[in-house]
A and B are shown apart, each in its own frame.
Chain A
Amino acid sequence: AQSVTQPDIHITVSEGASLELRCNYSYGATPYLFWYVQSPGQGLQLLLKYFSGDTLVQGIKGFEAEFKRSQSSFNLRKPSVHWSDAAEYFCAVGTSGTYKYIFGTGTRLKVLA
């Protein structure tokens, strides 16, 4: 069965430090991969997506993610975190031929001043 795992429930980093949020998926074919961010009291906003081609994708707000087929991973990175990045981050897999996304449980990011 398809699944998405975000192993870190909470992550705390200092402002200006680098960030990596982990995402592993289980899916038989090449997945459509997404990272969304949810700020308090708001809906989810797309950060970036991967369908095919270059495995390093750039997104909004200075985020990037790398698709590694051999590791079934799609980790999100940012070289220097800002206090405004504090939010919850969700990895999602779109399964071809369906309407469905499968979401991970999310990683809540806290940024220390």
Chain B
Amino acid sequence: ETGVTQTPRHLVMGMTNKKSLKCEQHLGHNAMYWYKQSAKKPLELMFVYSLEERVENNSVPSRFSPECPNSSHLFLHLHTLQPEDSALYLCASSPAGTSYNEQFFGPGTRLTVL
């Protein structure tokens, strides 16, 4: 595997389910990001981890819970989601958690909440 991978690519869940999204980067980067991409809206930064420490949490509802066990892996744990949470969730990584570094994106997980 190369670059940034995300699993699953598609996920359908009910509002009472618990699921997790997984992201893995094979680039040796130190920072990882979760974004939410909804139609007709700018990408929304959700969480940033730098050297496995959460450094940004953009007022995201507690039903989204990130986890970064090491610098290569990032998870987004989901529970009791709402239909408006349906979106494409993108993971990205960069060499360091600074805004002048290029971010490398995964293909995303298309989430549908019923």
Contacts and interface: CB of A to CB of B under 8 A. Distances in A.
Interface of A: 4, 9, 32, 34, 36, 41-46, 49, 51, 90, 94-106
B36 to A, nearest CB: 11
A99 B97 contact: yes
Contact of B100 (A9, A46, A96, A102): A96
5 contacts: A4-B42, A41-B107, A42-B107, A44-B105, A94-B98
Contacts of B43: 90, 101, 103
Contacts of A42: 107-108
A59 to B, nearest CB: 11
Given A45-B105, A90-B43, A102-B42, 5 more contacts: A4-B42, A44-B103, A103-B42, A103-B43, A105-B40
Given A90-B43, A94-B100, A105-B40, A43 B106 contact: yes
B31 A99 contact: yes
What size tier do the contact residues of chain B reach?
A: 20 to 34
A104 B40 CA distance: 10
Interface string B34-63: 000000111101001010000110000000
Contacts of B4: 43
Interface of B: 4, 31, 33, 40-43, 45, 48, 50, 55-56, 90, 92, 97-100, 102-108
B41 A105 contact: yes
Contacts of B102: 34, 46, 49
Nearest to A94: B99
B24 to A, nearest CB: 13
Contacts of B55: 99
Contacts of A32: 99-100
B6 to A, nearest CB: 8
Nearest to A5: B42
A43 B42 contact: no
Contacts of A4: 42
Contacts of A44: 90, 92, 103, 105
B48 A99 contact: yes
